[in-house]
Amino acid sequence: MSKISRDEVAHLAGLARLAVTEAELDTFAGQLDVILESVARVGEVAADDIPPTSHAVPVTNVFRPDEVRPSLPRDQVLAGAPAAEQERFRVPRILNQEG
C-alpha cells in the first residue's frame, strides 16, 4: 500500500510551486514511497547504543572571522535592481497566498 497519496504529492507540488502533470503525480508518488521505505529501514537498523552523528568523520569550522570591509554604496547597488523601495530591494510577495 502506498505511504503517500497522489493528493499529498499534488499538495506538496503546490507548496513548492511546481507544475506537475497527472502522470507525474503517479510517478512521484511511487518514487516518494521508495524514499520513505528506505528511511524507515534505516530507522529499524539504528541501535539505541549508537550515538547519533551528523558526520562520519570529525569536522572543524573552516570559516574565517568576520571583518568589516568597504562595500558598494547603497544607491549604486539599488540602481541595478529591477525595483527598489525605502532603500531596499522590492521583490514580489509570496507569503500569505493561497496555494
| Residue 64 pLDDT grade (very low, low, confident, very high; cuts 50, 70, 90) | confident
Whether the per-residue pLDDT at 62 is higher than 60: the answer is yes
Q: Say what the pLDDT of residue 24 is.
A: 94
- 26-30, 46-50, 53-57: least confidently modelled range: 46-50
Q: Say what the pLDDT of residue 84 is.
A: 92
User: Domains, the chain, ranges and CATH?
Assistant: 1-47 (1.10.20.60)
Mean pLDDT of 11-19: 94
Q: Say what the pLDDT of residue 1 is.
A: 52
Whether the per-residue pLDDT at 48 is higher than 80: the answer is no
DSSP string, the chain: --SS-HHHHHHHHHHTT----HHHHHHHHHHHHHHHHHHHHHHHH--TTSPP-S-SS-----PPPP-------HHHHHHTSS-EETTEE-----TT---
Q: Say what the pLDDT of residue 44 is.
A: 80
